[in-house]
Structures are given as structure tokens and as C-alpha cells.
Amino acid sequence: MSLMPVDEALTKLLSGVKPLETEYVPLESANGRYLSAPLVSTRTQPPFAASAMDGYAIRHEDISASRTSLTVVGEAPAGHGFAGTVGTGETVRIFTGAPVPAGADTILIQENAEREGERITVLENPAKGAFVRPAGLDFSEGDVLLQPPLKLAYRHLALAAAMNHAVLPVHRRPKVAILATGDELVRPGTEPGPDQIIASNHAGIAALVEDCGGQALDLGISPDEPVALANHVRRAITEKADILVTLGGASVGDHDLVQSVLGQEGMDLAFWRIAMRPGKPLMAGRLGGTKVLGLPGNPVSSLVCGLLFLKPLMQAMLGQTPEQSGPQRAILASPLPENDRRQDYVRATLSRSANGDLVVTPFSRQDSSMLNLLAKSGALVVRPPHAPALEAGAEVPILVL
Ligand SMILES: Nc1nc2c(c(=O)[nH]1)N[C@H]1C(S)=C(S)[C@@H](COP(=O)(O)OP(=O)(O)OC[C@H]3O[C@@H](n4cnc5c(N)ncnc54)[C@H](O)[C@@H]3O)O[C@H]1N2
Ligand code: MOO
């Protein structure tokens, strides 16, 4: 049986995927969304030369080597500039954020001034231009300050607000319909029958979808029965899901119906069966405008395939370049056997040695049903096909979880 290499499958999955269209969201709802168009400033900031300190706006040329005395001719709090001009021998009381009045070019901080009535004495001479923020110090009207690809975070939102954008263009969130399959499954919180288990994959994949900036749509659990399965699949299409994720039923058993039902519904199969462990039965295709990703049922296989395939697919739909930085590296704490033809993603704990190196310790058991170990893992050690046996101390590529 031929198995497709992981990289080839990923390239196939992402080929032709375009970023989703733009929608406009209020600034308050834009945190974590993905910017879809460059953001040009509508303002210059600060819009005027502004004082950076509380003190006195002075003409630097007025200050002599000795203790200069100046006359206070007005006041400029933030939001209320001084309308006149500061003449020779004059000063204006000024506060942080206020426009520096005409005629003045320097701010004397109040700690360095002695005030008596309407006179001040300069106790320590400032440098020319001290504590004046020139107009446009931060940015100018017309500057392109934020550009895709960008996941908007608090820093970008503050900047967008300062640019006076109350509404931002972002990519629509991919709608990801998630359908579990299997007679043995019941929802968390319900009592399973004697031969049943709790469906766990859905919760993990839905959280991954949300983490990646998508919108999870729960299609529930379909029994292993073609008509019921087809009806669930059709719901993903009526709901105009961008991606349909099926969970389980992807392998070769008599009750693994997902691929045949999707085929009957008109799916174009892109690939099935990948040279990876866990995740061999992974399947992908397209059903009309919906991308289909058939994840294996084994819980660890499901989540690892979600990380390696669903995440980059969603990133591409959000205009992101899927992380190309490649794996990090760490020191192996225990030996690993020679690998076979499947690329292995070995669950491992992650720690730091005394000298600061990342250290990975693989779990001795790697069964793809063991969610407990995945939850305890800090990394996956990536073992390429046919990688030779390794001793403790070898450097290995890892994906940090
Ligand atoms: N003869 C062969 N058998 C199997 C092969 C194979 O190549 N030849 N591949 C194995 C591999 S590898 C995997 S992975 C599994 C995946 O098979 P399916 O995708 O068909 O998954 P199911 O059979 O439906 O379920 C497998 C396992 O996972 C449990 N499961 C399913 N869905 C969920 C869920 N939503 N939450 C929690 N657990 C779930 C299910 O009860 C089964 O125990 O096939 C191997 N077999
Ligand atoms: O490839 Mo399966 O994912 O071993 O469990």
C-alpha cells in the first residue's frame, strides 16, 4: 500500500487555497482577527508639536548662563492650547500633551523652575528643544502602518485607534463544521452504554479551530450508517462550511464509511493515507466549495493531524503564511529506535537542562489512543521516514505543543 509523504500531502491540501473575503468589524471586536488590507493612517500623530512634560514653554534663546527670569503670560493645559505667541522674556505654563505655543521651542520642567507670582527663575538650563515632541513624531497621515499578514493584537489595535480607524478590514473567519462518526460515541456529559465511549476529538478540534481564528460548527455525532452520515454531511454544505472535518471512520474497516459516503455526495478526493504516525488514514478532498479533511478516529491521531493539516489550512484561509520556520531542535533524553517508512510524531515531555538546552523525553508508550500522554506532552519529536536509531544526547527536530 503506497502512503503519501507528509510534505506532499500538505502541499496538495494548500494548493489553490485563497484567503477568505474581507469583512469589516468594529475595533472592539477585532482582537485576534486577521487583517486583510493595509491600514493607512488618516492622521498625523502628534498632530502638533506637543509638550512631553509638565512645566514651562520657553524660548531657548532667552536663557543665559545665569539664573534667567521669565514672565508667565498664559497657560496651556492638554486639550487647550495657548492662543498667543511667546515673546522675548516670556513663558507659558504648560502641561503634558498640550500644544507647544508659537514662539516657544523648549520645555523647562517644573522641577527646574522656581515660581513667584507671575515670574519664574530657571534653576537648570534645558537643552534646546527639550521635551518637545515634534508633530508626526509617531506617524504621519498617509503612512501605511499595519499590513497583512497580521493577527491583530492589543498593540496593533491601539495603533489602529490612534490612526482613527473605528472599523477594520479582516478576513472572514473560516467556518469549520465538525462531524464525529461512530456508533460507539456519546457526547461528554452523557452516560455511555456498555460498549460505548465518550467522544473526545470534537472538543479538541473545536478548540484548535477557535485558537486558529476559525468558527467551529458542531454537527454532532453520526452513527455508522450511510444515510445518516450523508444527511450530516449535507448539513455542512447547507451551512456553507469552508471546511468539513470528519472524525473517525477514515480507515479500512467495514464500518469506516466516511470516504464512500463523501464520494457518493460528490467529493473529489485529493489524497488518502499518509506516511505518518499517528494519522495514517488521513483523507482530504473537496465537496463543492467546502474543503474536506477526514481525520482518523484515534484521539491522538485526530489532534496531531489537526495540528499538522487543519491549522495550516486555516492559516492559508486567513491570509497567513503557514509557519515555515520548521521544527525547533532539542536534546534527546532517552534512545529512540530506528524508524520505519512513516514519519513519526513522538509524544514527549519538554524541559530545560541546567545549561539551558531544550530536552525532550519521549514517552515509552506511543499508542494513538492515549490522550492522557498527549495532554502531558510538551513537544512532538519529528522522526523522518527511515531515521536511524538514536542514542540519548542526540539532537532531534521537535514541534513544541
Ligand atoms: N486493518 C487496519 N486497521 C486499521 C488501520 C489499517 O491501516 N488497517 N489503521 C489504523 C489506524 S493507523 C488508525 S489511526 C485507525 C483510525 O481509523 P478510523 O479513522 O477509521 O477511526 P475509527 O475506527 O472510527 O476509530 C478509531 C478509534 O478511535 C475512537 N474514536 C473515533 N472517533 C472518536 C471521537 N470522536 N472521540 C474519541 N474517540 C474516537 C474509536 O472509538 C476507535 O477506538 O484505524 C486503525 N485500524
Ligand atoms: O496512524 Mo494511526 O493514527 O496509528 O493511530
pLDDT tens per residue across all 401 residues of the chain:
789 999 999 999 999 999 999 999 999 999 999 999 999 999 999 999 999 999 999 999 999 878 899 999 999 999 999 999 999 999 999 999 999 999 999 999 999 999 999 999 999 999 999 999 999 999 999 999 999 999 999 999 999 999 999 999 999 999 999 999 999 999 999 999 999 999 999 999 999 999 999 999 999 999 999 999 999 999 999 999 999 999 998 877 776 789 999 999 999 999 999 999 999 999 999 999 999 999 999 999 999 999 999 999 999 999 998 665 567 999 999 999 999 999 999 999 999 999 999 999 999 999 999 999 999 999 999 999 999 999 999 999 999 99
- Respond yes or no on whether ipTM tops 0.90: yes
Region(s) of the chain under CATH 2.170.190.11: 50-133
pLDDT of residue 325: 58
**Residue 251 Cα: closest atom of ligand 1:** 20
Residues of the chain with CATH 3.40.980.10: 6-20+173-317
325's CB contacts (< 8 A; 6+ apart) are none
CATH no. of 6-20+173-317: 3.40.980.10
How many C-beta atoms surround the C-beta of residue 304 within 10 A? Answer: 25
DSSP 19: P
Burial label for 253, CB within 10 Å (0-12, 13-18, 19+), is: exposed
Ligand 1 neighbours by CB, cut-off 6 Å: 180, 182, 184-185, 197, 199-202, 247-253, 256, 278, 280-281, 296-299, 301, 368
Query: Residue 117 Cα, ligand 1 centroid: separation in angstroms?
Result: 86
CATH number of 328-400: 2.40.340.10
- Domain span(s) for CATH 2.40.340.10 in the chain: 328-400
Query: What is 326-368 written as a DSSP string?
Result: --EEEEESS-BPPP-SSEEEEEEEEEE-TTS-EEEEE-S---T
Q: What is the pLDDT of residue 170?
A: 98
Q: By C-alpha distance, which of 353, 343, 355 is closest to 399?
A: 343
Q: pLDDT value at position 323? A: 65
Query: Is CATH 3.90.105.10 correct for 22-45+138-171?
Result: yes
* Of residues 67, 66, 106, 71, the one with CA closest to residue 87: 71
Main-chain dihedrals φ then ψ at residue 285, nearest 5 degrees: -170, -165
Distance from Cα 252 to the centre of ligand 1, integer Å: 9
- Quick one: cell of 356? 539551558
Give the residue among 169, 114, 159, 116 at the shortest CA–CA distance from 138. Answer: 159
Residues of the chain with CATH 3.90.105.10: 22-45+138-171
Output the CA 234–ligand 1 centroid distance in Å.
23
Architecture of domain 50-133: Beta Complex (2.170)
Point out the ligand 1 atom lying closest to the alpha carbon of residue 294.
Answer: 19
- pLDDT reported for residue 324: 57
Q: Which residues pair with 131 in a beta bridge?
A: none
**Which is the closest atom of ligand 2 to the Cα of 277?**
1
Q: How far is the CA of 277 from the centre of ligand 2 (A)?
A: 5
Dist. CA 70–CA 77, nearest whole Å: 19
- Structure confidence at residue 251 (pLDDT): 78
